[in-house]
Amino acid sequence: MIKIIAIALPILLILSACGSQQDVFMPPTSARAADVQLILAVDLSLEPVFFSAAEDFAARASAISDGELSIHVEWLYNPSQALEHGDIQMAFLKSDDQSLPDIYFEAVSMPFLYSNYSHFTNIINNTRILNMITHGSLDSIEARPIAGFYRPANRLVTIWPLEEYHFLSEAMIALNPQSRSSDALQAIGATILPIYSPQERAELIMSGDIQGAEFTLAELLDIQWIGQELHVTDIGHDLSPVWLFADDDTLRSLTPLQRAYITESSAYLFNTIDGSFLAEDRRYRTSLEGYNFLFTGYFAPIRLEMLHRLESMPEYLVSSAQRFMLEVVN
């Protein structure tokens, strides 16, 4: 279970403080705060698990607030615009949404910074990171991230164990031409071979003509793998995290306890989202056991002093990533 101490601790302190006050005489309290109705939108392009998670979030917030918070969940095309215009108060947004101009959203999603998905999830939900992102240029939507979530990424299949990013230097890697990974892999010296067909990519790597190829987990299952032992790695080269955003004005209008309800409810989202993706990953791995695959469970992230090696990355992005790594990663 992923530990989200930075998120949960303030809630525990608030709740324990509320409990301790019942042991001494207190004057009658005023009526509870007015009921609040919010709309939480989920981007239509996201996986169904995010809608399920949003419904769980709404139900929990209503339960722990005794109905004080009522959150309606809906699918929406381009929810960032609705959030900007005040039509909704919360939204699940992808980090590559064009309405998120802050360079730190790009920096924390840079390739090769994380060892695995849990490392990624823990880091981006660090309080300092959330504050660093919020401090940037998010004025266009006047909203702030409450939590960030991993999404399943494509895997690299290679002819040798892939333990560090520089193993790909000078390697020839076959990718779907629509893959987001091309710039990241070229930045560390790999040569990219664009090939649409997953079967053709597989045949090239099985023949030894190339050193690696990228696949979705579903594509791996559709291929008849034969021959040499191959290594499958999720190295964090293909990141597109999802963020739960809340409107700034809405957050300011809530009471401290109402904000605590939202924070506590968001903490439980990790159980739903990460649990679903972990189960899917285990299911695929079990299905692939009959083939000659070895799964690499750990990838050594790029070191701070080596960021300059990512020569094709924009300078502003590299410098932002350096600040990010100095702040938390290293």
Digits of tens for pLDDT over the chain (330 positions)?
333 333 333 333 333 334 433 333 333 444 455 589 999 999 998 989 999 999 999 999 999 999 999 999 999 988 988 988 889 999 998 876 655 556 667 677 777 777 767 777 888 888 777 777 665 545 556 788 889 888 877 888 999 887 777 788 889 999 999 887 887 788 778 999 999 999 999 999 999 899 999 998 888 888 888 777 888 876 666 677 888 999 989 999 999 999 999 999 998 898 888 888 888 888 888 888 777 788 776 566 666 555 555 555 556 556 666 666 666 554
> What pLDDT is stored for residue 310 in this prediction?
56
> What pLDDT is stored for residue 20 in this prediction?
37
pTM confidence score: 0.76
Structural domain of 68: 5-16+32-152+239-280
* Same domain flag for 247 and 125: yes
> What pLDDT is stored for residue 71 in this prediction?
96
* Same domain flag for 44 and 131: yes
**Distance between CA atoms of 72 and 51, rounded to whole angstroms?**
11
* Same domain flag for 294 and 169: yes
* Same domain flag for 142 and 40: yes
3-state secondary structure of 297: coil
Pseudo-torsion of CA 295, 243, 132, 253, nearest 10°?
-150
In a domain, 21, yes or no: no
* Same domain flag for 79 and 189: no
Specify the number of domains making up the chain: 2
In a domain, 209, yes or no: yes
Three state DSSP letters for 191-238 = EEEECCCHHHHHHHHHCCCCCEEEECHHHHHCCCCCCCCEEEECCCCC
* Same domain flag for 105 and 247: yes
> What pLDDT is stored for residue 13 in this prediction?
31
Q: Which of 142, 117, 139, 120 is nearest to 129 (CA)?
A: 120
* Same domain flag for 36 and 73: yes
* Same domain flag for 132 and 174: no
> What pLDDT is stored for residue 14 in this prediction?
33
* Same domain flag for 170 and 273: no
Token couple for 278: 């972990």
DSSP state of 164: B
> What pLDDT is stored for residue 137 in this prediction?
44
CATH number, domain containing residue 324: 3.40.190.10
